[in-house]
Chains A and B, each alone.
Chain A
Amino acid sequence: MAEEKKKVEVPLPKFPEPDTEPFWDAARNHELRYQVCDDCGGIVFHPRRHCTHCTSLNLSWKTSKGEGTVYSYSVVRQNYHPAFRERIPYVIALIDLDEGFRMLSNVVGVDDPAAGVSIGQRVRVEWLDFEGASLPAFTPA
């Protein structure tokens, strides 16, 4: 992880940003958090101040077990952004967490991205630590 800490050019979350700051605060402790509405029980993700299912403003943070399934993915083979260009080829994916929310992330820890990642594959969270933020990525379970 020490090596990765040097790659400060990876675009990291910026603050102040009140909606998402609690998510990223927890991420520094390697906790993957999402919101549940106290009034209707609906899951809210991306993080917000209001419930997107009912008119409630009463949301609670929960911690995910970090286990889920690959909903879809792509192997990125061209990106002009310098921080990502050096990682090519890498996998972006939509992950359906078992608690019922979907997030964009990377699937890491596979030798051959084209052969090692598939839709429906079970994955678990793997934290990538950078200076100032920890990013949740996923690895085959």
Chain B
Amino acid sequence: MATQQRDAAIVGIHEYPDRSVDGLTPLQIKAESAARALADAGLNWSDVDAIYDAGDGGPQGMAGLSISEYFNIKPNVIDTTSVGGSSYEFHASHAKRDIAAGKARVALLTYGSTARSQSFNIGTGGRMRGGPPSPLGNMEGSWGMTLISNYALVAHRHMHEYGTTSEQLAEIAVVTRAHAMRNPEAKRAIEELELMPAVREISVQDVIESRMIADPLRMLDSCFISDGGGAVIIASPNVARDCPHTPVWLLGAGEATKYPENGGDITHSAAAQSGPTAFGEAGVTPGEIDIAMIYDSFTITVLTILEDLGFCKKGEGGSYVEGGGLAFDKPGQPALNTDGGGLSSNHPGMRGIFLLIEAARQLRGDSTSQVPDAKLAVAHGNGGMLGARHSAATIILGRD
């Protein structure tokens, strides 16, 4: 622990509260979230000298430049890494690196999406094959693979190799819904978006009885589509010292990618590469983690990543998630997705920023499912398709 670096910290956060926005654009959600996160940090637009942006504000051209103008900031650093839902963990990793290198003092990360208002069928829209010819489109576009059915390929293979069951996957949805029911914003989302089976906690049986979408994944194994957004401010130690909230240090970061491979093993995700890098840099082990914010596009995503990050051995994820031990009030295992996750709080398409926001809330002591004296958190983003090409980034967070 003596070598642990404290060279960048989250000092400001904001989660856009509504899951169904009325007439706002993604850019407006990004800007409002940025303004509120800056206010949370006691900073102003003029303090921002680094911007990290996944292009979710829409195709304006000149990625990074147009968004800077819209915000009215003049950054020294522009990073437009756009790798799906994990983009925000990549951004946090890069902000940590850039601040540590002295290239920036205050980094701004924003997200905005109106996926629900615009009725994007993200999981079940097919690979629609719009746009010009591409190698990937030509080799994967004609067989009707939906996003969820790609994740289902991982689930089936995991079941085949390790005996994982649908009931074990369901445990992840159950504990996540229990956390959502404690979060007023998530609860309102469940009510307003009429998520089945109504505004209540769910059981393993509820998940098993929900409609099969792509065998072996069911409706309640899946995140839902919402609007939403948020912002995160990451700052240098000198800036963080004067901010009103306790700094949430970025102690370690790891990034990785994975692709379909001839003869490859799809039960291992890119987390198996990004995890050890992040934990190694932070000088901590999975056993010390209090809060596990794991990208939950589907239950299988969480199970696979928990294994890959080293919370349990590969193949033992099923028994690891059994029994409700990942609940915020059960000591002995980390608390999983305490905001209610993508499964039961919000999933506007790329929810990686919410993993950072809820990890920061926990380490500030502000979560609606607060773990007493939480000191260490992991935020792991997964973007793309778990059973094919995906990006992964792991961030280890801690407080003084």
- Does A47 reach chain B (CB closer than 8 Å)? yes
Does A103 belong to the interface (CB within 8 Å)?
yes
Instruction: Tell me whether A104 and B145 are in contact in the complex, defined as CB-CB below 8 angstroms, given that A14-B137, A72-B154, A119-B156 are known contacts.
Output: yes
| A15: B residues at CB distance < 8 A | 133
Residues of B with C-beta under 8 A to A87: 144
Indicate whether B149 reaches chain A with its CB closer than 8 angstroms.
yes
* Bound-state Cα–Cα, A26 to B216, Å: 34
> Are B142 and A94 in touch, CB under 8 angstroms?
no
| B124:A79 contact, CB within 8 angstroms | yes
A16 to B157, CA, bound (A): 35
Contact B149 A74 (CB under 8 A): yes
Q: Are A105 and B152 in contact (CB under 8 A)?
A: no
Complex CA distance for A13 and B217, rounded to whole angstroms = 28
Q: What class of interface size applies to chain A in its complex with B?
A: 35 or more
Q: Chain B residues near A61 (CB, 8 Å)?
A: none
Q: Which of B132, B142, B266 contacts A11 (CB 8 A)?
A: B142
Given contacts A20-B138, A73-B156, A77-B215, contact A102 B126 (CB under 8 A): no
Selected contact of A72 from candidates B121, B148, B262, B266, CB within 8 Å? B266
In the complex, are the beta carbons of A77 and B138 less than 8 A apart? Answer: no
Contact string, A7-43, partner B, CB cutoff 8 A, digits 1/0? 0001111111101100110000000000000000001
25 A-B residue pairings within 8 Å (CB atoms): A10-B142, A13-B133, A13-B137, A14-B132, A15-B133, A16-B133, A19-B138, A20-B135, A43-B262, A45-B262, A71-B157, A75-B212, A77-B212, A78-B146, A78-B213, A79-B125, A79-B126, A80-B124, A80-B125, A80-B126, A81-B144, A93-B153, A94-B153, A94-B387, A119-B157
Chain B residues packing against A (C-beta within 8 Å): 121, 124-129, 132-146, 148-150, 152-154, 156-157, 160, 211-217, 260-264, 266, 387
